[in-house]
Amino acid sequence: MIVKCTVAYDGWAYAGWQKQENALGIQEIIESALEKIHKKPTSIVASGRTDAKVHALGQVFHFESDGKIQPISYVRALNSLLPLDIRIQKAEKAEDDFHARFSCRSKRYLYIATRNQKDPFACRTKGILYQDLNVEQMLDACQFLIGTHDFTTFSSSRIDPRKSRIKTIKMISIEKRGQDYYFSFEGNGFLRYQVRMMTGTLIEVGKQTIAPLDVQKMLDLKDKEACRYNASPQGLYLMEVCY
């Protein structure tokens, strides 16, 4: 039986989703809990990795089960073993051909930045701003990112060169709420660092250090060196994975 799980986590204390040799990843913690439940090693596959200090409300992973435990029972069983900053939200039986990564049709991310430097919790949950942003200018710049493009400019240099840099951004919205700015992104997939680099660039537009048209020029260059902006990781949340 294929079990599909939705998990939320505070990524501040972790080196990202992926299991690593010299650091603690969220995948390793969940697999250790499943090993205690199943009495044998159990591998999980996620919709994709999140980087160190990045959070999630709707990350999805799957694993194979012998069917002795009902999917809904995994919620209580796993949460009894997991730390309080990693919480299983839902577990359900999936189709036999379901794959958390390859069956994914779109993802939605949220980035929160704040002007409230007096908030002692913001350093773990939001990007910190030191000036107000021009939302209208940022929205103008968003139009150059929406659609199907080669996002090489807004990606990590460590991505396998054989991997396509072409992605489709369906929606970008920016909203100011009090002292906070909410950046929402929805697309069919995202390259490593893509959301953070797009956010960092839009913030520079909002600060009016670059113009909206500069975003188009950077995108057209298809050059990793064309963008040096990268928003801090703690403001980023994987909100939803759609299948």
Question: What positions carry a catalytic annotation?
Answer: 51
**Annotated binding-site residue? 111:** no
Angstrom distance (rounded) from CA 231 to CA 120 = 19
Give residue 221's identity as a one-letter amino acid code. L
Angstrom distance (rounded) from CA 152 to CA 157 = 9
| DSSP class of 14 | S
Q: Is 220 helix (H, G, I), strand (E, B) or coil?
A: helix
Sequence-distant (≥ 6) Cβ neighbours of residue 239 within 8 angstroms = 56, 57, 58, 108, 109, 110, 184
Interior angle at CA 214, CA 153 and CA 186, nearest 5? 55
Using a 10 angstrom Cβ sphere, with 0-12 exposed, 13-18 middle and 19 or more buried, the burial of residue 165 is middle
Binding-site residue numbers are 109
Binding-site residue numbers for substrate are 109
